[in-house]
Amino acid sequence: MEKLKCIIVDDDEIDRLTVLSFAKRFENLSILGVFESADEALSFMEQNPPDLLFLDIDMPGMNGVELRKQALAVPACIFITSHPEFAVESFELDTLDFIVKPLKFDRFAQTMRRIEEFMEIKHKASLFESSIGGDVIYIKEGHDQTKVKLHDILYLEALKDYTLIITSKKRHCVLSSLGILLKETHFQSFIRIHRSFAVQKQFIEKINTQEIQLSNGAMIPVGRSFKENINILLS
């Protein structure tokens, strides 16, 4: 994978230089700029979009949270701050990690492993980008796009922040939670029967209170909070 372009923003010089020195130890990072104010960073990003932000929160003028709100197009954001009380608010802004100062290298290295994992998943499993005739999706896999017919999908399975799309021939992966995927128009025919599974009615062979058997022999568990949806399947 290509190097990740990053920007560091912190009004404290020592903290700023600490993040910079740690970042330089990772060959997969390309440092676009280092700034002491959010306003300077935002102006720079308009012409130089990064892949990753390392942000302090409590800064004069625009703070780090406000900066992130104006830069949500940046895929990943790491907050490094002395104020743990901002954690809840920050994670509403697609925050990948939240580090409380003083920053230590071991903790920074842990964050880098999380970034690498996130970017690898994002690279390999982007959500479908277009559809044809309403019954086909294209799933980006590496540099290729795979056409998948919606009526060939047996079920959907949630795996953390991404979802497996299971057909009789192959398992595809998209970077989207199951809940978000089911809100898409393309997936309105799927019925969620478990926090981790959604199925299509036409592939169901047997139903009981504990599990559902599909036409390919797969056994899908029924979650307690989704039993009402079983009544929809039986109706």
Rounded to whole angstroms, the Cα distance separating 66 from 69 reads: 5
CATH number assigned to the domain covering 4-123: 3.40.50.2300
The two beta strands, 153-159 and 197-200, are antiparallel
Q: One-letter amino acid identity for 52?
A: L
Q: What is the pLDDT along the chain (235 residues), one digit of tens a residue?
A: 579 999 999 999 999 999 999 999 999 999 999 999 999 999 999 999 999 999 999 999 999 999 999 998 898 999 999 988 877 676 667 788 999 999 999 999 999 999 988 887 666 544 444 444 457 888 877 667 788 888 899 999 998 778 899 998 888 888 888 888 888 877 888 889 998 999 988 888 888 878 889 988 889 988 888 877 877 666 6
Fold for 136-234, please state it.
Answer: OB fold (Dihydrolipoamide Acetyltransferase, E2P) (2.40.50)
Domain boundary assignment for the chain: 4-123, 136-234
Rounded to whole angstroms, the Cα distance separating 81 from 12 reads: 11
Q: Which residue has the tokens 């102006």?
A: 43
